[in-house]
């Protein structure tokens, strides 16, 4: 009987075929999508730049990393969201990038790319084989939610760090967010962002004079395998991505009331990651922080229409990452 019933984690919530993306698109979708992309870029892009430089990547290769990550996130987000009509959110592994900074000393770039490739293949196998889904079934919802809370806690605490240098900016944004949650919850994040940009611009904190936009180009790095890279990078990258990122991502999906087939979802993310690894896509996974923006009630009252929030930022990711040559030129 147990084999006859599919677990909730491997069962999708489908929308009627008559529903279309254009029919479901709305202004809150655009707002939520814009904020999702901005949060994803602003919160951790610098870490990715540092990880690439730490491995000896040049400017063109760093741009290729951003290109590969953007294409990977765009393909997986749009494809999986349209397939299941659920806001499936993917992102690069920020803890994975941080791990590369601390653990990749002395590892040549070609060997690091080989480690990325092996880790991606292992994630693909863990997904399609059902190993990850079976493992996560044993994790209580409370524990997974606690893991997510731990990820989010640092972002909440950082407001007090910001107050040490920019008290007016931090307090104004906090007040806007709290008022927004009370009176216009759907637009609270975009209102907070607007207030922050306005104050930062008025105080001369925005420095956009050095920004130059140009198309990024993929740079293929032929992978090379070594035991040192496999043990020091591939396995830790696999564990960090699966244990912290994907578990938190599943926690967001479950907390939002969605049922997504986790096994093929993780598997297909692994496939895309494998294809793009030689171009610098070090790790893709289910997102947690940006997923919450697209899956909450603030995105839309109708849960069946929240998937469009995912497709708006995914299209934006294609555009922004393909212009990542200019982004990589920013001072960090």
Q: Is 5 exposed, middle or buried, given 0-12, 13-18 or 19+ CB atoms closer than 10 A? A: exposed
Q: What is the 3-state secondary structure (H, E, C) of 70-137?
A: HHHHHHHHHHHHHHHCCCCCEEECHHHHHHHHHHCCCCCHHHHHHHHHHHHHHHHHHHHCCHHHHHHH
pTM given for the model: 0.71
H/E segment holding residue 284: strand 284-286
Per-residue exposure over 75-88, b if at least 16 CB sit within 10 Å of its own CB, e if not: bbbbbbbbbbbbbb
- Is the pLDDT at 126 greater than 90? The verdict is yes
Q: Quote the CA–CA distance of 3 and 234 in Å, as a whole number.
A: 33
Tens digit of each residue's pLDDT (9 = 90 or more) over 165-197: 888 888 998 899 889 888 877 677 778 878 888
Mean per-residue pLDDT of the chain: 76
Per-residue model confidence as pLDDT tens digits over 253-308: 777 677 788 899 999 999 999 999 999 999 999 887 665 566 555 544 544 444 44
């Amino acid at each position: 009987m147990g084999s006859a019933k599919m677990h909730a984690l491997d069962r999708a919530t489908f929308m009627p075929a008559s529903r279309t993306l254009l029919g479901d698109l709305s202004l809150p979708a655009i707002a939520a999508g814009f904020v999702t992309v901005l949060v994803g870029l602003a919160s951790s892009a610098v870490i990715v730049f540092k990880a690439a430089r730490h491995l000896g990547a040049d400017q063109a290769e760093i741009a290729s990393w951003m290109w590969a990550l953007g294409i990977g996130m765009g393909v997986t987000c749009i494809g999986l969201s349209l397939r299941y009509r659920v806001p499936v959110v993917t992102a690069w592994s920020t803890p994975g990038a941080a791990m590369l900074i601390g653990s990749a000393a002395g590892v040549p770039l070609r060997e690091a790319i080989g480690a990325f490739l092996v880790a991606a293949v292992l994630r693909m196998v863990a997904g399609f084989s059902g190993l990850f889904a079976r493992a996560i079934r044993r994790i209580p919802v409370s524990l997974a939610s606690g893991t997510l809370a731990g990820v989010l806690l640092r972002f909440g605490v950082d407001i007090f760090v910001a107050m040490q240098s920019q008290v007016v900016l931090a307090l104004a944004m906090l007040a806007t967010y709290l008022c927004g949650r009370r009176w216009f919850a759907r637009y609270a994040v975009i209102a907070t962002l607007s207030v922050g940009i306005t104050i930062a611009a008025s105080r001369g904190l925005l420095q956009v004079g050095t920004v130059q936009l140009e198309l990024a180009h993929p740079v293929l790095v032929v992978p090379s395998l070594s035991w040192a890279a496999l043990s020091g990078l591939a396995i830790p990258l696999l564990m960090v991505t699966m244990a912290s990122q994907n578990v938190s991502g599943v926690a967001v999906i479950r907390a939002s009331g969605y049922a997504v087939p986790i096994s093929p979802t993780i598997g297909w993310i692994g496939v895309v990651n494998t294809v793009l690894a030689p171009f610098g896509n070090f790790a893709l996974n289910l997102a947690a922080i940006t997923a919450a923006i697209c899956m909450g009630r603030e995105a839309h009252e109708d849960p069946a229409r929240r998937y469009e929030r995912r497709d708006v930022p995914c299209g934006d990711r294609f555009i922004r990452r393909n212009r990542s040559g200019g982004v990589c030129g920013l001072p960090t």
